[in-house]
Amino acid sequence: MSGATSLPPLVEPAEELTKEEVARYSRHLIIPDVGVEGQKRLKNAKVLVVGAGGLGSPALLYLAAAGVGTLGIVEFDAVDESNLHRQVIHGQSDLGRPKAESARDSIAEVNPFVQVNLHQTHLTSDNALDIFRDYDLILDGTDNFATRYLVNDAAVLLGKPYVWGSIFRFEGQASVFWDQYGPNYRDLYPEPPPPGMVPSCAEGGVLGVLCASIGSIMVNEAIKLITGIGETLLGRLMIYDALEMSYRTVKIRKDPNAEPVKELIDYESFCGVVSDDAQQAAVNSTITPRELKEMFDRGEDFELIDVREPHEYEIVKIDGSKLIPKDRILSGEALSELPQDRKIVLHCKSGGRSAEALAALHKAGFADAVHVGGGVLGWATEVDPSLPTY
């Protein structure tokens, strides 16, 4: 099913619009499909946005501007300089502040009539149902599979629609999931990808403006759901390529054989954020950046291998390291380039990829190989603060 016009409006209209609200929303009110009634539904709506980052930033600003009466923000992180190229709800003066509070202040500037609720916590299986219960609609702007499955399952159990988006480099995706009327997220992704297969934005990068494209599509879907107008993306996956400037949609169908969602589970272990092999390999084979520094200071004979990508190596590197990207180690192609006669130390950006490469080296017989927990970011923080971080 395409999610069509048969969807009922999600929210009952509020009693009235004030004189100030009529002035503020006049360009909405004169669209016949929205009108006074649609604007009253927006005023009465309660939307929860999970994450005030790349997608949450434009989504929150436009939901507020559109007149959504109550916005909830789930966010525990602080504003960092690397956020500012895409997270437009935060500014230079917000560096170091909690993102939730910075977002709340920006929303008050955009629309003082919006009630903002802050949930400054990690979303977990223990708190998700309690947080979601008071909202009509969940909009998910997170960037990891564990949270997406958690958001989906909680929305399914509570019978709420869930607007989803994801971004990576130049590509974005968006859809609407609502189990009682169409597919849920598990119909699109029945199984999480193997750990280490899908890089995060922190590892792979994202074009800043892509967040605006996908975030605005998500808000567009939320407005249609709340007011009951148009055709939503329920049952369709929209894929946007910013380099080709192309949009295409793919049908998503409900899997008739899927196991129904009955309870919330341990999503970290379900998604295996780092593979079992990598976890095992790292157990007694992880050194700290400071221990690496001591190895250098003692003049030990070892080979430091950086398993990041060449463009990352250009941004920042540890002197004396040699670049061999992770995929060349995992495929076995680079094993012949590694020394047999001295210890190998691996590092990446923060420790995830080097743990995967470490597991491959241990299997290939490099039993004393170790990796640096915290990677080059840890080195820049703890050992050499003159280096840039990214």
Asked, for residue 6, whether it belongs to a domain, the answer is no
Asked if residue 390 is part of any domain, the answer here is no
Are residues 204 and 98 part of one domain? yes
For position 108, what pLDDT does the model report? 98
Model confidence at 3: pLDDT above 50: no
Task: Give mean pLDDT, residues 31-52.
Answer: 97
Mean pLDDT for 189-214 is 81
Query: What's the mean per-residue pLDDT of the chain?
Result: 93
Sign of the torsion angle spanned by Cα atoms 103, 105, 111, 115: positive
Q: Check whether residue 255 and residue 286 sit in a common domain.
A: no
Domain final residue, candidates 271, 290, 308: 271
- Cα–Cα distance for residue pair 70/14, rounded to 1 Å: 12
**What CATH number did the domain enclosing 317 receive?**
3.40.250.10
Clarify whether residues 146 and 203 are in a common domain.
yes
Query: Higher pLDDT residue, 193 or 23?
Result: 23
Q: What is the pLDDT of residues 326-364, one digit of tens each?
A: 999 999 999 999 998 999 999 999 888 999 899 999 999
pLDDT on residue 5: 44
**Judging by DSSP bridges, how do beta strands 321-323 and 302-306 pair with one another?**
parallel
pLDDT at residue 1 in the model: 39
Which residue, of 213, 244, 271, is where some domain finishes? 271
Angle among Cα 150, 152, 157 to the nearest 5 degrees reads 95
* pLDDT tens-digit readout, 280-310: 777 889 999 999 999 999 999 999 999 999 9
Same domain, 74 and 159: yes
Q: Is residue 237 part of a domain?
A: yes
Regarding predicted confidence, which is higher, 193 or 335? 335
Residues 266 and 312 in one domain: no
The residue out of 271, 292, 327 marking a domain boundary is: 271
Which one of 49, 201, 292, 334 is the catalytic residue? 201
Edge-first strand order for the sheet with 321-323 is 286-287, 370-372, 343-347, 302-306, 321-323
Q: Is residue 14 part of a domain?
A: no
**CATH number of the structural domain spanning residue 149:** 3.40.50.720
Looking at residue 196, its pLDDT comes to 62
Percentage of residues of the chain with pLDDT beyond 70: 96
Q: Does residue 5 lie in a domain region?
A: no
Residue 8 lies in a domain: no
196 with 296, same domain: the answer is no
Is residue 228 located within the same domain as residue 312?
no
Q: Answer whether residue 113 shows pLDDT above 90.
A: yes
DSSP string, 246-277: EEEEEE----TTPPPP-S---HHHHHTSS-HH
Annotated active-site residue 211? The verdict is: no
Q: Kindly list the distances between the CA atom of residue 328 and the CA atoms of 69, 82, 240, 323, 345, in Å, as whole numbers in the listed order.
A: 52, 28, 30, 11, 16
- Report the alpha-carbon distance of residue 178 to residue 166 in Å, rounded: 17
pLDDT for 155 beyond 70: yes
How many structural domains is the chain composed of?
2
1 domain residue, yes or no: no
Mean pLDDT of 138-159: 95
> Which pLDDT value is given to residue 116?
98
How much is the pLDDT for 242? Answer: 97
The token pair that represents 233 in the structure block? 């993306």
pLDDT for residue 187: 95
Query: pTM for the complete prediction?
Result: 0.81
Q: What is the mean pLDDT of residues 192-220?
A: 84
Same domain, 259 and 351: no
**Would you give the DSSP letter of residue 49?**
E
Q: What is the pLDDT of residue 99?
A: 97
Instruction: For residues 185 and 55, state if they share a domain.
Output: yes
Distance CA 75, CA 90 (A): 13
For position 390, what pLDDT does the model report? 87
Whether 192 and 236 share a structural domain: yes
Residue 246, in any domain of the structure: yes
Residue 271 annotated in active site? no
Q: In this predicted structure, what is the pLDDT of residue 272?
A: 65
| 181 or 201: which leads in pLDDT | 181
Q: DSSP string covering 344-384, please?
A: EEEE-SSSHHHHHHHHHHHHTT-TT-EEETTHHHHHHHHT-
Catalytic site residue from 151, 163, 348, 361: 348
- Whether 47 and 162 share a structural domain: yes
> Which residue range forms the structural domain that includes residue 107?
19-271
**β-sheet bridge partners, residue 206:** 169
Summarize the confidence of residues 162-177 as an average pLDDT.
Answer: 96
Across 189-194, average pLDDT: 82
- Do 132 and 207 fall into the same domain? yes
**Residue 4 clears pLDDT 60, i.e. is over it:** no
